[in-house]
Amino acid sequence: MKLQKEKIKEKLANLRNNQTHTWTAMLVTISGSLTLLQSLEKFMNKILFSIGILLFIILLYIYLNRNEFIEKIIQKIED
């Protein structure tokens, strides 16, 4: 039982580490997209802005799903 709890804690630490990387990627992506928003005269900037917003939404979805999964693991540890 104790070994299983240690495995769960290790998995939780890895998930939190992944959450940090996902959060950083989200911030970089939205910052770049907002920078491109200032100069939408060029067609390429419009495409890159659209891709950036789409990527941000995907990363946000991943972040929120993992966050929910982490909460379930924490509840499992507390029980």
Domain for residue 78, yes or no?
A: yes
Domain for residue 67, yes or no?
A: yes
Q: Tally the domains of the chain.
A: 1
Domain for residue 39, yes or no?
A: yes
Domain for residue 14, yes or no?
A: no
Spatial separation of the C-alpha atoms in residues 30 and 48, rounded to whole Å = 11
Domain that holds residue 78: 34-79
Q: How confident is the model at residue 1, as a pLDDT?
A: 62
Q: How confident is the model at residue 27, as a pLDDT?
A: 95
Domain for residue 2, yes or no?
A: no
- Per-residue pLDDT tens over the stretch 34-58: 998 888 888 898 899 999 999 999 9
For residue 79, pLDDT over 80 is answered with no
Q: How confident is the model at residue 56, as a pLDDT?
A: 95
Domain for residue 79, yes or no?
A: yes
Spatial separation of the C-alpha atoms in residues 22 and 29, rounded to whole Å = 10
Cβ contacts of 34 within 8 Å, gap of 6 or more: none
The values of phi and psi at residue 15, to 5°, are -65, -40
pTM for the model stands at 0.79
The values of phi and psi at residue 38, to 5°, are -70, -20
